[in-house]
Amino acid sequence: MPSQKQLKWSQLKVGLTVVLASIVLGVLIILMSGGGLFTSKIILKSYFPDASGLTPGSPVRLSGVDIGNVKAIRVVPGRPLDPVEVVMKVNTKFHFFLRKDSITLLSTAGVLGATYINIDSSQAKGPEAQDDDVLPSKEVPGYEEVMRAGQSSLQNMDALLKRMDRIVAFVESGQGSIGKLIYDPQLYNRVNATVAEFQGLVNDITQGNGSIGKLIENDDLYNKANASIDKINNLIDEVNSGNGTIGKFLKDPSLYDNANKTVANIKQLTDDVNAGKGAIGKLAKDKEFADKLQNTINRLSNLADKLDTGNGSAALFIRDPAVYNNTNKLLTETQDLIKAIRENPKKYLTIHVKVF
């Protein structure tokens, strides 16, 4: 049977072990919460529209690194858009990267993991955060929003699949253009016959039958085409050498000189006309000549008007039918007289001389 002294020593060892284990557990809890035994800590706040499952004691991370935990969560009045106030207790070990304009995000560890706060300082340019600062927040689609979006996508996909099933069933029934294209035997027979005819056409062409076959297989066409090309090449050589009409037209410098002289003469003629020289120039520039020409035209117009109205001998000759009839009668009688003289010239041309 153990003595009382041994019992006390055993109890003392158990007590020391429990105390040591408690100290180690406390240190581990502090270290795991992102704190430190000798590091200073500050209080930061942020406001969110919804807590999204965040609880006191949840981790606070800076770009994924634990720097503290959530101290308190409450709903405050006067903030209808973001009523949830989150109080965070973080250490200042990474104060150089913790800014006043750093963004706080509600993130989730995995699909069904716990919610924590992640501080993003990638775009922050403000001064370092101080105790009791309020960091701006940014709403991130949560699990429920993602599930709702996924549910909507699944519903749309289900509707699309149902439509595809109806289309496939419609095609399998042989209806519509695609259904007839796949299931109509007559269409297959027509396509097969067309392919056979096309194959026969290819065979005829290969054997040199028909116009296209002769075009491909007969050497005469090639020889004629080659001869024609040779003639065209010879013609081009003749033109380049200055032979023939076209060659002289392109190569003879006298043609250019003559054309240049003609253009110069035309220009000189135009200049003379503009200067009032020569008959055409006076016709175009001399005002006296233009007045005379206008007077002559006016007199001719007046004469035409008098003839048209029937005044004067010439007008009567033109417009009086009696003058026309008498003239016509005179011409007729003259023709009859000439005819009678030709028939019996002695009667009209005999001269009787009487001597007193």
pLDDT one-digit tens code per residue, 267-283 = 887 877 777 777 667 66
Q: What angle do CA 68, 74, 76 make, to 5 degrees?
A: 125
% of the chain with per-residue pLDDT over 90: 14
Q: For position 110, what pLDDT does the model report?
A: 65
Considering the domain architecture, whether residues 115 and 178 belong to the same structural domain is answered as no
* Residue 283 within any structural domain of the chain: no
Q: For position 227, what pLDDT does the model report?
A: 82
Instruction: Kindly tell me if the per-residue pLDDT of 341 is higher than 80.
Output: no
pLDDT tens-digit readout, 138-169: 876 555 555 666 677 778 888 888 888 777 77
Considering the domain architecture, whether residues 64 and 116 belong to the same structural domain is answered as yes
* Residue 86 within any structural domain of the chain: yes
Domain extent for 126: 38-139
Q: For position 59, what pLDDT does the model report?
A: 92
Q: What is the mean pLDDT of the chain?
A: 77
The total number of structural domains that make up the chain: 3
pLDDT tens-digit readout, 219-275: 776 777 778 888 888 888 877 777 776 766 666 677 777 777 888 888 887 877 777
Considering the domain architecture, whether residues 64 and 117 belong to the same structural domain is answered as yes
Q: For position 170, what pLDDT does the model report?
A: 73
Q: For position 117, what pLDDT does the model report?
A: 92
Lowest-pLDDT range of 96-100, 272-276, 288-292, 317-321: 317-321
Q: Looking at per-residue confidence, does 334 or 213 come out higher? A: 334
For residue 5, give Cα distances in angstroms to 11, 14, 16, 156, 247: 10, 14, 17, 80, 140
Instruction: Kindly tell me if the per-residue pLDDT of 189 is higher than 70.
Output: yes
Instruction: Kindly tell me if the per-residue pLDDT of 104 is higher than 90.
Output: yes
Last residue of a domain, one of 139, 174, 196: 139
pLDDT tens-digit readout, 38-68: 568 899 999 999 888 889 999 999 988 889 9
Instruction: Kindly tell me if the per-residue pLDDT of 2 is higher than 60.
Output: no
Lowest-pLDDT range of 80-84, 85-89, 93-97, 344-348: 344-348
Lowest-pLDDT range of 45-59, 94-108, 205-219: 205-219
* Residue 285 within any structural domain of the chain: no
Considering the domain architecture, whether residues 65 and 122 belong to the same structural domain is answered as yes
Considering the domain architecture, whether residues 135 and 173 belong to the same structural domain is answered as no
User: Best-predicted range by mean pLDDT among 58-72, 102-116, 277-291?
Assistant: 58-72
Considering the domain architecture, whether residues 82 and 123 belong to the same structural domain is answered as yes
Q: For position 338, what pLDDT does the model report?
A: 81
Confidence of residue 102 (pLDDT cuts 50, 70, 90): very high
Cα–Cα distance for residue pair 252/135, rounded to 1 Å: 93
Lowest-pLDDT range of 37-46, 93-102, 107-116: 107-116
Instruction: Output b/e per residue, 336-351; b: 16+ Cβ within 10 A.
Output: eeeeeeeeeeeeeeee
pTM of the model: 0.36
pLDDT tens-digit readout, 166-186: 777 777 776 766 766 676 777
Considering the domain architecture, whether residues 122 and 207 belong to the same structural domain is answered as no
Instruction: Kindly tell me if the per-residue pLDDT of 6 is higher than 80.
Output: no
Q: For position 187, what pLDDT does the model report?
A: 72
Name which of 46, 87, 93 is nearest 65 in CA terms: 93
Instruction: Kindly tell me if the per-residue pLDDT of 75 is higher than 90.
Output: yes
Considering the domain architecture, whether residues 42 and 128 belong to the same structural domain is answered as yes
* Residue 93 within any structural domain of the chain: yes
Burial of 100 (0-12, 13-18, 19+ CB in 10 A): middle
Rg, C-alpha atoms of the chain: 62
Q: For position 257, what pLDDT does the model report?
A: 76
Lowest-pLDDT range of 125-134, 279-288, 298-307: 279-288
Considering the domain architecture, whether residues 193 and 102 belong to the same structural domain is answered as no
Considering the domain architecture, whether residues 128 and 68 belong to the same structural domain is answered as yes
Instruction: Output b/e per residue, 53-75; b: 16+ Cβ within 10 A.
Output: ebeeebbbbbeeebbbbbbeeee
Q: For position 92, what pLDDT does the model report?
A: 85
